[in-house]
Amino acid sequence: MQQDNYQIKENTKELHDITNTIELVDSLIFYAYMRKASDIHIDPVDNGVVIRFRVDGVLVYIDTVNIEIHQELIARIKIISSLRTDIHYVPQDGRFNFEKGVCICDVRVSILPTHYGENAVLRILIPKDKMPSLIDLGFSEHDNKRIFESINKHQGMILVTGPTGSGKTSTLYTLIKHLAKDNVSIITLEDPIEYAMPKVRQINIREKHGVGFASGLRSIVRQDPDIIMVGEIRDKETAQIATNISLTGHLLLSTLHTNSAIGAIPRLMDMGVDQYLVANTLTLIIAQRLVRKSCEICKSYGCTMCNNTGYNGRTVVSETLTIDEEMRKYIMSRISLTDINRYAKASGMITMYEDGMEKVEKNITTKAEILRVLHD
């Protein structure tokens, strides 16, 4: 058996020289953590195993290791993730805690069989005690104020919208962290649970065992919650149950895949939610994207600190749509989204593009990055 009696090497250029798989896995996680990577991709190909990190939302090639250690590498990941090492032809998901020096994190694991063997993606999760505030995430003072005015009402529905990878889950966790108090009952439905949170009852979705978002919501209301978080509204049934719950004095937070805040309104109606429910349950819609921040050292020119990308870290660009009484009338009357958008701007909504350009003026990011993200 391999022994844990090694020193983690100084840089990733030496990865291909590591033959001890325990050392290799630990080194991968350590490097990824230090480079602030969100994911480690371990991809077998015909003549090796390609290692890539997702840094600031972009996949970066790191190294290629010998194909001969692939099976042992995957087996090591499975063992520490409490997965089946004797199963190779079906996907598996797991997680484990990692501690090595200054690197302390949870790691979520996804194993997927491919043509050249099992592929692994490891998601690096920051410790819950380092969970940022809305300002830390990048929300402007304007949007931060609107968000807290809405969540402190403790009723209605708040939606966070955007594509996959736009930071919606991080925003939800930040809001739940703020709301978690001894005198408040909070229950969440998640797929999967990313962070264990004190003072919050968290339920992991298990579709195979009959625990989905819709069925979970039905059970939750019998648990006397004040606040409910649903990881994602994916279907008509979940949408209808969620809006009905929001009418009964609960605060419900969830996410939805739309490109803008206003786009959430027709999206809910397309899912079969009556316009009356949409108008009378929604209190706030947050739309967001993640953009790369300009490197503070080289000011976007490229240096060793940012791996010559000109960027280091990411920040949110957002827009918040407050649903006031006038907006409810607009929704009920089914006027065009153009008119709704016009009223929203007149009522103080700052669009994602406008928020992004403010960050450009403050040298937080670049115009090229704003255009890349918002027009992709």
Domains and CATH numbers, the chain: 12-125 (3.30.450.90), 129-374 (3.40.50.300)
If DSSP codes are grouped into helix, strand and coil, which group holds residue 74? helix
Which tokens in the block code for residue 36? 């602030």
- The low-confidence residues of the chain, meaning pLDDT below 50, are 1-3, 8, 10
pLDDT of residue 357: 98
pLDDT of residue 331: 93
For 128, counting Cβ atoms within 10 Å of its Cβ (0-12 exposed, 13-18 middle, 19+ buried), the class is middle
Distances (CA, A) of 109 to 64, 167, 339, 344: 20, 19, 45, 41
pLDDT of residue 2: 44
pLDDT of residue 312: 93
Measured on CA atoms in the order 365, 367, 368, 369, is the torsion positive or negative? Answer: positive
Over residues 129-186, the pLDDT tens digits come to 677 889 999 999 999 999 999 999 889 999 999 999 999 999 999 999 999 999 999 9
pLDDT of residue 212: 82
